Amino acid sequence: MNSMTNYPDDFQKCATFHGHVCPGLAIGYAAVKASSGLLKSSGSEDEELVCIVENNSCSVDAVQALLGCTFGKGNLIFRDWGKQVFTFYDREKGKAVRASFRQPSSEREITHNLRKKIEAGSATDDDKRKMQELRDEFTSALISEPTKFFDIKEIALDPPAYAQIVETLPCAICGEQTMISRMVKKGDSMICKGCAQ
Ligand SMILES: [Zn+2]
Ligand SMILES: [Zn+2]
C-alpha cells in the first residue's frame, strides 16, 4: 500500500482536503492535470477560472483543492448528470477545456466483480486485499499518467454567469429569509422549498 509521502505534494493536499486517498479523488486530480496543458492556469484567486462538474463524487474535492473552484465563490457549477466529466472555463482567455474520463474496461470488470463480492459479504480477506491493491494501483496510474485516462478537447462555451446577489424574502410559513429566485408560490404567498415539501 502506498504511504501518503509517495504521492506528489499537490495530491497530498487534495487528500488532506478530502479526508482520504481514493481512486475517485485521483480521477479529479488527473482531470485537472490532463487539462492543464491546454488551460495553463494555476488556480483561481477570484472567479476567473470556473469548473463545471457533472457529478458530486470524491473527484470534485480534488478540483476544489487544486484550483480553488468552490461553491462558495460560485465558480464551481454542479450538474447532476452522474458523469466524470469536468469542463474548465478560463474567463480571461474565454477558453473552455472539457475532460471526459475514460475508465479502462479491464479495470472496470475486475473491480466490478470484486465490489459485488464485497457488497454481498462473500469476499475473502484475499479478495479485500486484492481490491485495495487494485485501488492503489489505479490511483497511482491516474496520478502518473493523467492524460491516458481522459478525452480532452477545447470546446466553445458561453461564459457561465457570475454568482449573483439575489434579493431575499421571509418565507410565509417558517419566516426564514429565502432567495426569491428559489421560492415557490403558494396561493398569494411565497414559501421556501423546505416548507413546500
Ligand atoms: Zn474519496
Ligand atoms: Zn419556509
Q: Which residues are near ligand 2, the ion (C-beta closer than 5 Å)?
A: 171, 173-174, 192, 195
- pTM score, two decimals? 0.87
Q: How far is the CA of 33 from the centre of ligand 2 (A)?
A: 43
Q: For the segment 81-122, what is each residue's pLDDT rounded down to a tens digit?
A: 999 999 999 998 899 999 999 988 888 888 888 999 999 999
Q: How many residues does the structure list for the chain? A: 197
Instruction: Give all domains of the chain, ordered by start, each with its CATH number.
Output: 4-155 (3.30.1330.130), 166-197 (3.30.60)
Q: Are 44 and 67 in contact, with CB atoms under 8 Å apart?
A: yes
For 32-75, write each residue's pLDDT tens digit. Answer: 999 998 887 555 555 689 999 999 999 999 999 999 999 988 89
Cell reading at 28? 479529479
Cβ proximity of 183 and 175 under 8 Å:
no
CA of 164 to the centre of ligand 2 (A): 22
